[in-house]
Structures are given as structure tokens and as C-alpha cells.
Amino acid sequence: MNIGREVGNVLHFSEQLDILHKHISLNELPVKKRDAFDEQCILLEEYLGEDNYKNVYKRMRTLNILSGVMAFPVLLLIVGVIVYSKLNEEVNIFAFILENTFLWIGAGVLLALILIVSLLFYITKNKLYNKIYPELKHKLNIK
């Protein structure tokens, strides 16, 4: 993770939220102001009578949660294997894992699923912020 990029993203979305708030105030739109960028976009889109941003945002959140849910058991298993191998030096847990092909196949399938879900999340996030949000701004006549 690049900290500089993340700080840049936070500043960018903060600036965009400020632009949306100014547009709401200047045009006296009957839309509540929110502190969260995505919530504000959803409310503005509802004002326009659309739900594209909301649907894609829900899909993005679902994919993010799904990738976390799928990765969490893997993390627990790795921590468990390390702790168990440290506590019980007579048992070579890594040799056991290497000897069981089913574990390798299961781990490979799970890894592939996590990568696919992560890729879908990345694609959905890019679609939301690089395509749908600019369209929303265009519909609201925000430059």
C-alpha cells in the first residue's frame, strides 16, 4: 500500500465532497448534506431519480466484504499452523501440509477465488469513480 497515494485519494474525495456541498447550497437543492462522499453521491443521484451509483457502490462493498470473509480463514489457518508448530515441536505441521495434496488443491482454489474477487472489486471501484461519478457530475452540471 502506498501511503502517499492514499493521502492523495483522501484529499481528492474531500475536495470532491466540498464541490458537491457547494453545488447543493448554490442551487438550493433539496438534498441533505452528508460527510461521506459516497453517501452524498447516492443522495444526489436519488434526487435525479436514478440508482446506478448506488447499485455499483453496493456491488463494490459486497465484493470488498466477500474478499475479506474469504481471506480471514486463510489468515487464521496460517497463524494457527505457526503457533501449533512452535508449541509442539514433535509434529512437523508443514510436512503434513506438503504431503496432503487436497490441502494444496483447496488452498490454490481459495487463492484463485480471492484473486478473482479482488480483481472484480478493483474493476468495480474504477467504474464507480472513473465513469459513473463523472457522469453524475455531468448530469448535475458540475464542472
What span, in angstroms and rounded, lies between the C-alpha atoms of 61 and 53?
12
pTM of the entire predicted model: 0.82
**Rounded Cα gap, residues 44 and 42, in angstroms:** 5
What pLDDT shows up at residue 95?
A: 78
Report which residue type is found at 79.
V
Rounded-to-integer distance, Cα 32 and Cα 81, Å = 50
Q: Which three cell numbers stand for residue 111?
A: 487463492
State which amino acid sits at residue 95. Answer: A
**Model confidence at 106: pLDDT above 70:** yes
d(CA 4, CA 24): 30
Q: Is residue 62 scored above 90 in pLDDT? A: yes
